[in-house]
A and B are shown apart, each in its own frame.
Chain A
Amino acid sequence: MVTRTVHESDRTDTDLTDTDLTGARSASGAVLEVTGLAVEYVTDGDPVRACADVTFTLRRGEILGVAGESGSGKSTLITALTRLQRPPAVTTAGSIVFHPRDGGPAVDLVTASPRTLRALRWTSLSIVLQSAMDALNPVMRLGAQFADVLRTHDRSLSRDAAWTRAAELLATVGISGDRVRSYPHELSGGMRQRASIALALACRPELVVMDEPTTAVDVVMQRQILAQVLRLRRTLGFAVVFVTHDLSLLLELADRIAIMYAGRVVELGTAQEIYDEPRHPYTRGLRDSFPPLRAPLRRLTGIPGTPPDLRRPPSGCPFHPRCAARFDGCDTHLPGLVAAGGHAVACRLHDPAATGRPADTGQQDRAARPDRTAGPEGGAR
C-alpha cells in the first residue's frame, strides 16, 4: 500500500465529497458513488499509478461517458469498477459504493467479498467488452451461454424456459430468435457484439459497464447498436458507464462525460458543456481533434506532444508539458478536480488562488483559449 501525497487527499476530501459535484446529493438517486479511487500496477520498481483520485457519481439510468486516449487509465478504471482487475493491478485507495435499486444496504465494491460480488454480477452489474469474440464462449451455442447466466441467478428456471428467454433477449437486440442455436463464430461481428449486449442485460442489471463496445464495428453498425442500447435503456432503466476514445461519439450519446488524462479525471460535465465550453485545455484540444462532418472546415492542430509515460509522470499537472495555456506553477502544483455548478475541472486556470484573480468564467475562458484568439498555430496558410 502506497501512501498518497498529502495534497491529493486534501483535495479529494474538501473539494469533491462535500460539494454538489454531480447533482446527485441523495444516495437514492445514485447507483454508484466512486470516491478517491486509485489503482496501481505493482512492478519491480516504483508502482505505476494508472488511476488516481477518481471521483464521480453515477445517477440511476444515466449514461456517463469516459473519454481518454490510450494509457489514460480508462480501461484500468473499468476493471477496477467491476472488480475484474488482475494482478499486478491493485486498488490502493478509495471506495466504489453501489446502491441497489431495492433499497438494500449499499455495498463497497472495493472491499466486497467474492460471495457478495458473485450475487451482484449479472443481476446488478454487468459488463460489455470491446471484443465480443473474446467475451463469448466459442464452443457453446449462444442459447447455452444465456441459459447458463439465467439459470445461475434464477434456480427455478427450467432449461427450456431459459432457452426461450434467450431467444426473446436476442430479439430485443434485433437478432432473430432462431440464432440461439448458433455458435459465436457463425455470427457477424456486429451480431456478436449485439448478442453480448443482450447477454449483459439478461438479468436486468442496474449498471452496465461498456468498454469500447463499438470500436471493432463499422459506423453504420455502431449507430445501430447504440440505438438499441438507448432504446433498451428507456424500457429497462439501467445506467451505463461508456468508455471510449471517441469523444465525438460520446458527445452525441452520453448524458455526462468524464475526460481522463494520465489516470485522472480532468473534467466532468454534461455533454453539452464539454462541447460548448470545455474548461480544461486538454478537453478543448481533444474536442478540436475531431474534424467536423458538416460545419465549415478550419485548420485543426490536435494536441502537440504525446501522452505521458505513467512510469515517469510529469511533475505538477500531468498535462503541462503539452499545454499551451500553462503558466507559472503548473509544473509543480497538481490541480484537484473543482466543481462549479456541476461542471468540474482540474486545471489551475480555473483556480482563483493560482491565477491570482477572482473566478470569473469569462476571463478564464479567454485565458484558456489561446488557440482561438492568438494561438501559435491557429492560423492557416
Chain B
Amino acid sequence: MTATTVPATSAPGTTVPEAPVLEAVDVTKHFAVRSAVGARSVVRAVEGGTLALHRGRVVALVGESGSGKTTLARLLAGFYAPTSGEIRLEGTPVRRRRGRVERGYHRDVQLIFQDPFGSLNPLHRVRHNLERPLRLHHAVRGRAELDRRVRELLERVALTPVEQYVDKFPHELSGGQRQRVVIARALAVEPKVLLGDEPISMLDVSIRLEMLNLLDRLRSEDGLALLYITHDIASARYLCDDIVVMYAGEMVEGGPKEQVIAAPQHPYTRLLVESSPDPGRGARDREALFDADADSLGEPPSLIDPPAGCRFHPRCPFAMDVCRTQAPPRTDLGGGRWARCWLHPEGRAGELDRPGTDAGTDAGPVAEHATDRTTQENQ
C-alpha cells in the first residue's frame, strides 16, 4: 500500500502527444512603477516565460516569493496583458479588446487565489456565489436547474451533505471549506484549465492534503489541465507531473518532478531543494543541515535592476565570467528536461552532482558536529 505512487501520472519523460490546452510562449511582463520622488522605473516581473499545460496533467511552478510565479499565473488567466510574447489557448493566440480578454476566455481558464477569505463575496451565501458563474457563463436560468447544478458542484468538491453548506455565508465556513467553495465556483464554468496560485498555503496543515487530493481527482477524473503554484517543493512533488522552477522572473529549470528534485540541473534548484525541510532526512543530521555556510547564500536580486547575464550569478557557487555578462541559453537535456545555466553549454554540468558547498550533503561534518553537540550538552 505504501508503495503506491500518488498521482495517476503518465510515465515521466514521455512526450505528450496531445497539443497543449494553454501555453505561454516567451511572455514578458514589465510593470512601470514610480518611486516617491517621481523617478520612473520598470519592474521586470517575468521575462521569457514559456510554459505548456496539457489535459490531465499538473505542472508545478515553484520559486521564492517575488520570483514572478503569481504574475505568470495572472498572465495565463488573462488578467494582465503580456508586454511581449503571447498566450495561446488551444493553439489560438488570445485576443484582447480594450485591454481585456473576452468573457469566453474565462469560461476555459479559471484562477484560484491563495486567500479563500478574500476571494468569496462575504455578503452572499454559498449558493449565490456558485449560481453567479452559472448564470453569466452558461445562461442557466430556472430554479430547479440552478439547484441541481449547485448541488452537483458542491458534491464534486466533497462539501456534503449539501444542505449543510449551500445556505451558509463564507464567514461561517472554515478555511478549507471556503477554499472548496472557491474551487467549486471555478468549476462552475466548466473550465479546461485551472490555475492554482498557492491554493493551500493559507490552510491548516492537516487539511492541506485533502485539498491536494481534491485537485488530483479533478485532474484525473475530469481531465483538467492544472497549474499548481507553490513555494513548497514537497507538496509540488506530491501533486504534479512536471516542475518548472522560477528565479527572479525567469524560468531556470524544468522537467519531470522526480528527476528535477533528485538531480537538479541548475544551481538555484539545488539550493532550493537542499533548503527545503524534509522530515525523512532525520533529526540526527541537524547540525550538518543547518551548518551551511549561511552568510554566503545571498538574497534574490531586485527586479528593477536585475544583475546582467544570469540573474542567479551573484549567489551562484559556480559563477564564471560568461555568467556575469550573458544570459544563459536554454539547454535541452532530453526526456523533457531543460535548464538555463552556462554549466551545460560549458560542459561543466557534472559539478552539479557533487556534494554542495552550501549545504552539507556529505557525511563528513555530521560526526564532527555530533561530537560538538554532545560536548555542549554535557556542559
Q: List the interface of chain A (C-beta within 8 A of B).
A: 61, 69-70, 174, 188, 190-191, 218-228, 230-231, 234, 237, 245-249, 251-254, 270-272, 275, 285-287, 289-304, 306-307, 372, 378-381
Contacts and interface: CB of A to CB of B under 8 A. Distances in A.
A304 B262 contact: no
Contacts of B271: 220
Interface in B1-40: 1-6, 8
26 contacts: A61-B376, A61-B377, A219-B277, A220-B64, A220-B271, A223-B292, A224-B294, A231-B290, A231-B294, A237-B379, A251-B279, A252-B278, A252-B281, A252-B289, A272-B283, A275-B283, A289-B208, A291-B237, A292-B279, A294-B281, A296-B5, A298-B4, A302-B213, A306-B176, A306-B204, A306-B207
Contacts of B210: 301-302, 304
Contacts of B321: none
Q: How large is the interface on B (under 10, 10 to 19, 20 to 34, 35 or more residues)?
A: 35 or more
B292 A275 contact: no
Given A231-B294, A287-B279, A306-B176, 10 more contacts: A61-B376, A219-B233, A245-B205, A247-B279, A285-B206, A290-B234, A293-B261, A293-B280, A298-B1, A301-B213
Q: Would you call the interface of chain B mostly helix, strand, loop, or mixed?
A: helix
B136 interface: no
A188 B282 CA distance: 31
A300 B209 contact: yes
Contacts of A300: 6, 209, 238
A293 B1 contact: no
Contacts of B3: 296, 298
Contact of B1 (A70, A286, A379): A379
Query: Max chain B CB contacts within 10 Å: which of A61, A221, A294?
Result: A294
B5 A293 contact: no
Contact of A306 (B1, B174, B291): B174
Contacts of A306: 174, 176-177, 204, 207
Nearest to A257: B283
Nearest to B292: A227
A84 B379 CA distance: 31
B143 interface: no
A289 B213 CA distance: 12
B319 interface: no
Given A223-B294, A306-B176, A289 B286 contact: no
Nearest to B373: A234
B174 A223 contact: no
A285 B210 CA distance: 12
